Amino acid sequence: MEVRRFFSDDLSSKAGLCELDKAQSHHIINVLRLKTGDDVELFDGKGCVAKAKIAVLGKAKVTCEILEKTVSGGYKPEAVFAIAMGLIKDKKMRFALEKLSEIGVYEFYPVICARSVPYFKNEADRQKKSGKWKKITVESAKQCQRNTSMGVCELTTLEQFLDVSEGFQNKYFADMKAENCLSGRLLNISGSSICLIGPEGGLSAGEKDALIRKYFCPVKLGVNILRSETAAIYAGVLQADSHLKK
Protein backbone atom coordinates (compact mmCIF):
# COMPACT_ATOMS: atom_id res chain seq x y z
CA MET A 1 0.00 0.00 0.00
CA GLU A 2 1.28 3.46 -0.91
CA VAL A 3 2.38 5.53 2.08
CA ARG A 4 0.78 8.99 1.86
CA ARG A 5 2.67 12.22 2.60
CA PHE A 6 1.34 15.06 4.76
CA PHE A 7 2.65 18.43 5.87
CA SER A 8 3.41 19.47 9.45
CA ASP A 9 4.78 23.00 9.74
CA ASP A 10 7.08 22.46 12.73
CA LEU A 11 8.05 18.82 12.64
CA SER A 12 11.66 19.41 13.67
CA SER A 13 10.67 20.46 17.21
CA LYS A 14 8.12 17.74 17.81
CA ALA A 15 8.58 14.26 19.26
CA GLY A 16 6.06 11.55 20.07
CA LEU A 17 2.63 12.78 18.99
CA CYS A 18 2.02 15.33 16.23
CA GLU A 19 -1.35 16.97 15.55
CA LEU A 20 -1.93 17.87 11.91
CA ASP A 21 -3.65 21.07 10.81
CA LYS A 22 -7.22 21.34 9.56
CA ALA A 23 -6.39 21.01 5.85
CA GLN A 24 -4.16 17.95 6.26
CA SER A 25 -6.64 16.34 8.66
CA HIS A 26 -9.52 16.92 6.24
CA HIS A 27 -7.56 15.22 3.47
CA ILE A 28 -6.94 12.17 5.66
CA ILE A 29 -10.47 11.89 7.08
CA ASN A 30 -12.75 12.93 4.22
CA VAL A 31 -10.75 12.44 1.02
CA LEU A 32 -8.43 9.46 1.52
CA ARG A 33 -10.47 7.95 4.37
CA LEU A 34 -7.42 6.54 6.11
CA LYS A 35 -7.78 4.56 9.33
CA THR A 36 -6.17 4.54 12.78
CA GLY A 37 -2.88 2.66 12.56
CA ASP A 38 -2.24 3.49 8.89
CA ASP A 39 1.35 4.43 8.06
CA VAL A 40 2.03 7.96 6.79
CA GLU A 41 5.02 10.15 6.01
CA LEU A 42 5.28 13.68 7.42
CA PHE A 43 7.46 16.53 6.15
CA ASP A 44 7.92 20.12 7.31
CA GLY A 45 9.08 21.79 4.08
CA LYS A 46 12.45 22.56 5.69
CA GLY A 47 14.14 19.19 5.15
CA CYS A 48 12.80 17.18 8.09
CA VAL A 49 10.90 13.96 7.27
CA ALA A 50 9.28 11.44 9.62
CA LYS A 51 7.80 8.00 9.36
CA ALA A 52 4.60 7.99 11.40
CA LYS A 53 1.28 6.28 11.90
CA ILE A 54 -2.19 7.63 12.59
CA ALA A 55 -2.76 7.46 16.34
CA VAL A 56 -6.01 9.40 16.83
CA LEU A 57 -8.64 9.98 14.15
CA GLY A 58 -11.12 12.62 15.32
CA LYS A 59 -14.02 14.26 13.52
CA ALA A 60 -11.90 17.15 12.30
CA LYS A 61 -8.37 16.57 13.65
CA VAL A 62 -5.79 13.84 13.15
CA THR A 63 -2.93 13.06 15.53
CA CYS A 64 0.03 10.98 14.34
CA GLU A 65 2.65 9.08 16.30
CA ILE A 66 6.18 9.75 15.03
CA LEU A 67 8.13 6.51 14.65
CA GLU A 68 11.35 7.66 13.02
CA LYS A 69 12.62 11.09 12.07
CA THR A 70 15.33 12.04 9.59
CA VAL A 71 16.74 15.35 8.39
CA SER A 72 17.29 15.54 4.67
CA GLY A 73 17.60 18.58 2.44
CA GLY A 74 15.60 16.84 -0.26
CA TYR A 75 16.08 18.48 -3.62
CA LYS A 76 18.50 21.32 -3.03
CA PRO A 77 20.87 22.43 -5.79
CA GLU A 78 24.51 22.96 -4.90
CA ALA A 79 24.04 26.53 -6.06
CA VAL A 80 20.63 28.13 -5.56
CA PHE A 81 18.65 29.07 -8.65
CA ALA A 82 15.63 31.30 -8.47
CA ILE A 83 12.89 32.91 -10.54
CA ALA A 84 11.56 36.44 -10.08
CA MET A 85 8.38 37.52 -11.85
CA GLY A 86 6.48 40.72 -12.28
CA LEU A 87 3.06 40.46 -10.67
CA ILE A 88 0.49 38.96 -13.05
CA LYS A 89 -3.14 37.87 -12.66
CA ASP A 90 -3.59 35.71 -9.59
CA LYS A 91 -4.78 32.58 -11.42
CA LYS A 92 -1.74 32.65 -13.69
CA MET A 93 0.56 33.39 -10.76
CA ARG A 94 -0.75 30.35 -8.89
CA PHE A 95 -0.22 28.14 -11.95
CA ALA A 96 3.37 29.35 -12.33
CA LEU A 97 4.11 28.79 -8.63
CA GLU A 98 2.90 25.20 -8.76
CA LYS A 99 4.97 24.34 -11.85
CA LEU A 100 8.12 26.14 -10.67
CA SER A 101 7.94 24.18 -7.42
CA GLU A 102 7.62 20.90 -9.32
CA ILE A 103 10.61 21.79 -11.52
CA GLY A 104 12.79 22.34 -8.47
CA VAL A 105 13.21 26.12 -8.39
CA TYR A 106 14.61 26.99 -4.97
CA GLU A 107 13.17 30.49 -4.46
CA PHE A 108 10.50 32.66 -6.06
CA TYR A 109 10.44 36.48 -5.92
CA PRO A 110 7.16 38.28 -6.79
CA VAL A 111 7.88 41.82 -7.96
CA ILE A 112 5.66 44.85 -8.57
CA CYS A 113 6.63 46.31 -11.94
CA ALA A 114 5.34 49.30 -13.89
CA ARG A 115 2.98 47.10 -15.94
CA SER A 116 1.97 44.70 -13.18
CA VAL A 117 -1.71 43.94 -12.62
CA PRO A 118 -2.69 45.68 -9.33
CA TYR A 119 -5.29 43.32 -7.86
CA PHE A 120 -4.69 43.64 -4.11
CA LYS A 121 -7.58 45.48 -2.43
CA ASN A 122 -5.56 46.27 0.69
CA GLU A 123 -2.74 44.97 2.88
CA ALA A 124 -4.94 42.26 4.41
CA ASP A 125 -5.82 41.02 0.93
CA ARG A 126 -2.14 40.98 -0.03
CA GLN A 127 -1.27 38.92 3.05
CA LYS A 128 -4.11 36.51 2.29
CA LYS A 129 -2.94 35.92 -1.28
CA SER A 130 0.67 35.56 -0.14
CA GLY A 131 -0.46 32.87 2.29
CA LYS A 132 -2.25 31.05 -0.54
CA TRP A 133 0.89 31.20 -2.70
CA LYS A 134 2.92 29.55 0.06
CA LYS A 135 0.22 26.91 0.54
CA ILE A 136 0.47 26.06 -3.17
CA THR A 137 4.20 25.37 -2.84
CA VAL A 138 3.58 23.13 0.20
CA GLU A 139 0.95 21.10 -1.67
CA SER A 140 3.27 20.88 -4.67
CA ALA A 141 6.15 19.65 -2.49
CA LYS A 142 3.80 17.08 -0.99
CA GLN A 143 2.90 15.77 -4.45
CA CYS A 144 6.34 15.80 -6.10
CA GLN A 145 8.29 14.37 -3.13
CA ARG A 146 10.28 17.52 -2.35
CA ASN A 147 11.29 17.67 1.30
CA THR A 148 12.21 21.36 1.08
CA SER A 149 9.41 23.61 -0.19
CA MET A 150 10.18 26.35 -2.70
CA GLY A 151 10.64 29.61 -0.84
CA VAL A 152 8.14 32.35 -1.70
CA CYS A 153 9.67 35.71 -0.81
CA GLU A 154 7.80 38.84 0.20
CA LEU A 155 6.29 40.96 -2.55
CA THR A 156 8.62 43.87 -3.36
CA THR A 157 8.96 46.79 -5.74
CA LEU A 158 11.56 46.46 -8.48
CA GLU A 159 13.84 48.86 -6.59
CA GLN A 160 13.64 46.69 -3.46
CA PHE A 161 14.19 43.55 -5.51
CA LEU A 162 17.39 44.96 -6.98
CA ASP A 163 18.78 45.29 -3.45
CA VAL A 164 17.65 41.79 -2.47
CA SER A 165 19.20 40.25 -5.57
CA GLU A 166 22.71 41.50 -4.77
CA GLY A 167 23.66 38.08 -3.38
CA PHE A 168 23.16 36.24 -6.67
CA GLN A 169 26.26 35.60 -8.77
CA ASN A 170 24.50 35.28 -12.13
CA LYS A 171 21.58 37.61 -12.87
CA TYR A 172 19.36 37.73 -15.96
CA PHE A 173 16.13 39.25 -17.21
CA ALA A 174 13.99 38.14 -20.14
CA ASP A 175 14.09 40.45 -23.16
CA MET A 176 13.01 39.48 -26.68
CA LYS A 177 15.49 41.99 -28.15
CA ALA A 178 18.50 40.50 -26.36
CA GLU A 179 21.35 39.08 -28.42
CA ASN A 180 22.05 36.06 -26.18
CA CYS A 181 19.77 33.17 -25.21
CA LEU A 182 19.45 32.11 -21.58
CA SER A 183 20.29 28.51 -22.50
CA GLY A 184 23.65 29.65 -23.90
CA ARG A 185 24.49 31.90 -20.95
CA LEU A 186 23.86 29.06 -18.51
CA LEU A 187 26.28 26.62 -20.15
CA ASN A 188 29.44 27.68 -18.36
CA ILE A 189 28.28 29.43 -15.20
CA SER A 190 28.92 28.48 -11.61
CA GLY A 191 27.28 29.73 -8.44
CA SER A 192 23.76 30.98 -7.79
CA SER A 193 21.52 32.36 -10.54
CA ILE A 194 18.26 34.25 -10.86
CA CYS A 195 16.14 35.24 -13.85
CA LEU A 196 13.49 37.98 -13.78
CA ILE A 197 10.43 37.62 -16.00
CA GLY A 198 8.43 40.75 -16.70
CA PRO A 199 4.65 41.00 -16.21
CA GLU A 200 2.09 40.93 -19.01
CA GLY A 201 3.18 43.79 -21.25
CA GLY A 202 6.83 43.28 -20.36
CA LEU A 203 9.36 45.45 -18.58
CA SER A 204 9.55 49.16 -19.33
CA ALA A 205 12.66 50.73 -20.86
CA GLY A 206 13.45 52.40 -17.54
CA GLU A 207 13.18 49.09 -15.68
CA LYS A 208 15.52 47.40 -18.15
CA ASP A 209 18.07 50.18 -17.70
CA ALA A 210 17.84 49.84 -13.91
CA LEU A 211 18.41 46.09 -14.16
CA ILE A 212 21.44 46.48 -16.41
CA ARG A 213 22.95 49.01 -13.99
CA LYS A 214 22.69 46.29 -11.32
CA TYR A 215 24.51 43.79 -13.55
CA PHE A 216 21.50 41.89 -14.86
CA CYS A 217 22.10 40.51 -18.36
CA PRO A 218 19.25 40.63 -20.90
CA VAL A 219 18.51 37.20 -22.42
CA LYS A 220 16.10 35.72 -24.94
CA LEU A 221 13.94 32.71 -24.09
CA GLY A 222 13.66 31.42 -27.66
CA VAL A 223 12.21 32.84 -30.86
CA ASN A 224 8.54 33.14 -29.84
CA ILE A 225 6.86 35.64 -27.53
CA LEU A 226 5.84 33.76 -24.39
CA ARG A 227 3.22 34.54 -21.80
CA SER A 228 4.74 35.56 -18.47
CA GLU A 229 3.86 32.30 -16.72
CA THR A 230 5.19 30.24 -19.64
CA ALA A 231 8.42 32.26 -19.72
CA ALA A 232 8.93 31.75 -15.97
CA ILE A 233 8.47 27.98 -16.27
CA TYR A 234 10.76 27.79 -19.29
CA ALA A 235 13.48 29.78 -17.52
CA GLY A 236 13.07 27.55 -14.47
CA VAL A 237 13.52 24.41 -16.58
CA LEU A 238 16.68 25.80 -18.21
CA GLN A 239 18.19 26.68 -14.86
CA ALA A 240 17.27 23.34 -13.28
CA ASP A 241 18.74 21.45 -16.23
CA SER A 242 21.92 23.52 -16.15
CA HIS A 243 22.49 22.96 -12.43
CA LEU A 244 21.74 19.22 -12.62
CA LYS A 245 24.40 18.79 -15.30
CA LYS A 246 27.15 20.34 -13.15
Q: Does residue 2 carry a pLDDT above 90? A: no
pLDDT per residue as tens digits for the range 178-200: 998 888 777 667 788 999 999 99
For residue 211, what pLDDT band results from cuts at 50, 70 and 90?
very high
Verify that 111 and 156 share a domain, yes or no.
yes
CATH number of the domain at 35, please.
2.40.240.20
Both 203 and 231 in one domain: the answer is: yes
Indicate if 50 and 95 belong to the same structural domain. no
Final residue in a domain of this structure, among 71, 103, 128:
71
Average pLDDT over the chain reads 87
- pLDDT given at position 227: 95
Under the banding of pLDDT at 50, 70 and 90, the label for residue 14 is low
Q: How high is the pLDDT of residue 73? A: 52
Pick from 116, 110, 90: nearest CA to 154: 110
Q: Residue 178 falls within a domain, yes or no?
A: yes
* Section 207-213 average pLDDT: 97
Query: What is the percentage of the chain residues whose pLDDT exceeds 90?
Result: 48
Query: Residue 197 pairs with which residues in a beta bridge?
Result: 85
Q: Are residues 118 and 233 in the same domain?
A: yes
Q: Looking at the structure, tell me whether residues 18 and 94 fall in a common domain.
A: no
Considering the domain boundaries, does residue 76 fall inside one?
no
Does a structural domain hold residue 147?
yes
Q: Summarize pLDDT for 135-166 with one digit per residue, the tens.
A: 899 888 888 888 888 999 999 999 999 999 99
- Identify the pLDDT of residue 15: 65
What CATH number should be reported for the domain holding residue 235?
A: 3.40.1280.10
pTM: 0.80
The number of folded domains in the chain is 2
The domain boundary residue, chosen from 24, 53, 71: 71
Q: What band does 28 get if pLDDT is binned at 50, 70 and 90?
A: very high
**Cα–Cα distance, 19 to 196 (Å, whole number):** 39
**Same domain? 107 vs 168:** yes
Which residue segment(s) compose the domain that 21 sits in?
4-71
